[in-house]
Structure 1
Amino acid sequence: MVQTLDYLKETASQTAGPYVHIGLVPGDAGFDIYDHELGRDIAGPKAAGTRITVTGTVTDGTGAPVKDILIEVWQANAAGIYPGKGEVEDGFRGWGRVTPDFETGVFSFETVKPGKVTGPDARPMAPHLNLWLVARGINVGLNTRMYFDDEDEANAADPVLTLIEQPLRRETLIARADGNAYHFDIRLQGEGETVFFDL
């Protein structure tokens, strides 16, 4: 007979800040403690494909930049393969961490543009980056995606984007291209709030 422990309650949640960057990306906080900062190199020097730069800001409900937020980036390589799911280039991690500049609130990172990924139902997903955000005031990490505005045909068929019925809400997941640079702003709440996913 299995006995339940009714007297044990769920642990209360708490926010991840305000010093999340010190523990997870200490170099950004001015602490030179690692020879190689974990999470800096997303693609590695041998990755095939188009090198891109992504910049943007994360803003709160009032439109103010959130400067002490941590963004984790997860992605496939240019062939649409995630590390651990197939053969990728030597040094390709497909994962990284970034924080905004503490003065301007602008985040920036370099990587390679991912390819189309095959979804769990064998349907192709448009090229995208998976983003996970934690900061003070956020009790549970927020999951979202960044798609590319120069992938119209793939975006129109993407099984995740097509679940979002309102075109203006869908637009909150689309980064704007300027050559090999993409701009992507994230709004945590309020008008123009970015679509977040319950995973």
Structure 2
Amino acid sequence: MTTNDLTPTPGQTIGPFFGYFNAAEQVHLPFENGDNLVPPGDDRAIQLIGTVYDGEGTPIPDAMIEIWQADEHGNIPNQDGSLIRDPFAFTGWGRATTDNVGTYRFTTVQPGATDEGKAPFIHVVVFARGLLNKLHTRAYIPENKGLANDATLSALGDRAETLIAKRDGKRLLFDIHLQGNNETVFFSYPGMDYPKP
């Protein structure tokens, strides 16, 4: 039986897969110490930890997370060498993958506000299977006086809570929900007001 039906079918994706490594060029995702923006023993070090969940609330064991942020003084680093982990140079960028229970971890510094009166945050980028495009969100620092006056958070109403990390000592807890009732707020990149390092 022959059919001439050429109706397009929905796109399917398996992956992306982030374990690629090219030994000849030493190129790989993720890279060694990509999750350590500062050494774990640094006096300024805090942990950013969270779990990535799908729309059914199931942890995603093979997502990749990138973070971009200011330093503790609110300065955006503008230097080469993000892939080289130098304990004396904070580049403000990191990359980590989730483990088999969907958890990611970064060792970084608590960012300062980039402008007076603005709430400090960590820019978070999510890559995961089933996503044709990466997702951008923010992990705002809790207990900061700028939260009440932040225009982005004010515009989101009750949904703003999905962007505010929870503090646990020197750890910031920030879970990411890709869909569902607790869906994290995501931003389109052209609308972001966070300068690209």
TM-score between both structures, scaled by the size of structure 2: 0.74
* Structure 1 position 115 matched with structure 2 position 112: yes
Q: 2:149 is matched with which residue?
A: 157
The aligned runs of 1:112-191 (5 Å cut-off) are: 112-118=109-115, 124-151=117-144, 153-164=145-156, 166-167=157-158, 169-191=159-181
Q: Does the 8 Å CA contact 1:44/1:91 hold for their aligned counterparts? A: no
Q: Which runs of 5+ in 1 are unaligned?
A: 1-12, 27-32
Report the CA distance shift for 1:50/1:126 in structure 2 as closer, same or farther (over 3 A): farther
C-alpha distance in 1, partners of 2:148/2:14?
35
Distance of 2:171 and 2:36 partners within structure 1: 17
Deviations 1:145-177 (A, max 9, x none): 0012221x211112321221x22x100001111
Answer whether contact 1:44 1:93 (CA < 8 A) is retained: no
Aligned counterpart, 2:70: 76
Percentage of identical aligned residues: 40
Query: Gapped runs of 5+ residues in structure 2?
Result: 1-10, 80-86, 190-197
Q: Secondary structure at the match of 2:20?
A: helix
Aligned to 1:97: 95
- Which residue of 58, 61, 68 corresponds with 1:67? 61
Give the total of aligned pairs.
167
CA apart distance, 1:65: 0.4
Match of 2:35 among 40, 44, 49: 40
TM-score by length of 1: 0.73
